[in-house]
A and B are shown apart, each in its own frame.
Chain A
């Protein structure tokens, strides 16, 4: 039983890896435009296996074990192993489902592009890495997957590497993530130092009942668990684009749109949330770290939502929306509602991937990303428009769509997490829900309704995308509608299946929740729906009915908040002044001239130069004349005899 399970588990990441190897090695020369067959087939089989895994897990057959000893050095022993539990099963479904649909979608979207096989090779590599990340049974393998998805993200953002902005965006994503990963790595070192192992089971069972020692760090009195938790959270901040490391995600939109859907909306960026859920045992030990997590999440969601209000690039709006929703998930984890966070991750994967793929479909038709140049697309591309509508309704949290259930659960659990702190988080979340509805429908009304504002000659070429693109849209649409129904709230008289399912891994939400009445819960639900509807209505009023209202509103806000939002709070500029310019200055004036120019180049060039000079002198011995060589041989012979004679005489 275990044996066959193991084989199945190995195949789930193994098939995408195989597809990557085949496409990577033979793609450019032989496979070319047929690359999608291998990649899509591999990930589709992985999806089937993931579903089988989920069914097994639902029957209670979890798995935890090592496959192969990876590192064995002194006391450090790290294996490649799998941990298949409820959380992993959910993530497996999310990753393989979205990945399969994106593979399918890309057949149409990327058709005829240069580097088609390379694109599929990267997608497969990404899928493999992401699956390794979520299936890992130890922190190092998690870290491996973590870095590997970062690499794939870099490669895919910079897929159009001839475009300078794309290449720069790739680098930005990579470098910004380094900051987070640095903290994450330190966290792993601390875990190893403290618990002597990197295995989940060993670490988490050691944490059970562990008294975290108080330590002093940089003059601050704190305890070890807080430090570890915050360091791990650093990694999550980088990967899940939380404030202040969110700057890479909007730029990541330079990559092909299917990549944005898969990596920068549905899967990779949620790895941070997955990490929080996975390490809930550590975070639960430290209320301080939890508060930091919750506040970061709330701030990020508000911050990104306000920026999204005024952006004109359709993909950027969705990117900020992603950041905002990730903030929601982190907020949920911060109040201990891990299952709600993962639930939102799960529903968000569907409607956000749908939004991105819909945006890709629009871009495919219009060849432009600016919503000011769109409009009236509804009658040209009905499937895209309808699915986009549904996704936006879902993200706005309107029942009975998927987004409603997960968002409502988060808001309720935030509200009930206790005290004014919880109420503040809830108020922020509700405000964000309103803003989310507003900017989502702003995009819809600007894109699909009204008059087409683009160039006239483009208007005749507007068309619906091919079937390979619309079919994934429709499938994801089904997810965006129905994915939430497995977690219907207890308030409505259902068992919350999703939360119950994840309970063995992430536990139950704290006990205070019992102190609140049902009427309050109904009220919260009503407010969140009302916020969504209000946002929708306002967007309709501003962008669908009367078209000069936005300018007046921007003027009425006296420009300052508008400019602040429009320029993304100047975060990029602040980083430019505080970090990039000093770094570049140091690099140019100290590293290039002194370290590199004088020391390293002095050594590197000096050694060969002196070797060259000596050789110029020695090479004269290589006269090429046989007699000279013979004379030298005889001379050597002479020396040897003389030396042995002297040596013998000396004895």
Chain B
């Protein structure tokens, strides 16, 4: 039997890789993929917990997360398109109008 902490560690590893992708990459599409990666890390954790606690609510939550992720992907990609159209770049660090 596999201990649940293993799953949690796997989940944490994926999550950390996602954070790294978000912070370290300039390309907004990769950053966006990193967010999806982080969501998947959370999903793994939830499903593992659901299995170990024999509670289906974890899977329900994953279901909702996937639904919201789909919505978020649609919006995010629309933003990327309009960004690219207006600024002709996908490099986020070039966009800093909010600089203080």
**Chain A residues at the B interface, C-beta cutoff of 8 Å:** 619-627, 630-631, 634
Contact = CB atoms under 8 A, between A and B. Distances in A.
B92 A622 contact: no
A611 to B, nearest CB: 14
B92 A631 contact: no
A625 B92 contact: yes
B71 interface: no
26 contacts: A619-B100, A620-B100, A621-B100, A622-B98, A622-B99, A623-B96, A623-B99, A624-B95, A624-B97, A624-B99, A624-B100, A625-B92, A625-B96, A625-B99, A626-B31, A626-B92, A626-B93, A626-B95, A627-B22, A627-B92, A627-B93, A630-B19, A630-B22, A630-B23, A631-B23, A634-B23
A645 to B, nearest CB: 14
A619 B96 CA distance: 14
A91 B23 CA distance: 83
Contacts of B26: 627
Nearest to A627: B23
Given A623-B99, A627-B22, 5 more contacts: A619-B100, A623-B96, A624-B98, A625-B93, A631-B23
Contacts of A624: 95-100
- The 5 A-B pairs with the shortest beta carbon distances in the complex, nearest first, are A622-B100, A624-B96, A624-B99, A619-B100, A624-B98
A207 B97 CA distance: 76
Interface of B: 19, 22-24, 26, 31, 92-93, 95-100
Of B26, B95, B98, chain A has the most CB atoms within 10 Å of the CB of: B98
Nearest to B24: A627
A634 B100 contact: no
Contacts of A623: 96, 99-100
A627 B99 CA distance: 13
A631 B98 CA distance: 17
A621 B19 CA distance: 20
Contacts of B93: 625-627
B80 to A, nearest CB: 13
Contacts of B100: 619-624
A627 B94 CA distance: 11
Nearest to A618: B100
A289 to B, nearest CB: 69
Contacts of B31: 626
A621 B96 CA distance: 12
A447 B24 CA distance: 96
A619 B95 CA distance: 17
Contacts of B22: 627, 630
A621 B99 CA distance: 9
A337 B95 CA distance: 88
A619 to B, nearest CB: 4
Contacts of A621: 100
A619 B99 CA distance: 8
Nearest to A621: B100
A634 B19 contact: yes
Contacts of B96: 623-625
Contacts of A630: 19, 22-23
Nearest to B97: A624
Contacts of A622: 98-100
A626 B95 CA distance: 8
Nearest to A615: B100
A430 B85 CA distance: 98
B95 to A, nearest CB: 8
A621 B100 CA distance: 8
A113 B66 CA distance: 75
A135 B4 CA distance: 87
Nearest to A626: B92
A630 B97 CA distance: 17
A621 B24 CA distance: 18
Contacts of A625: 92-93, 96, 99
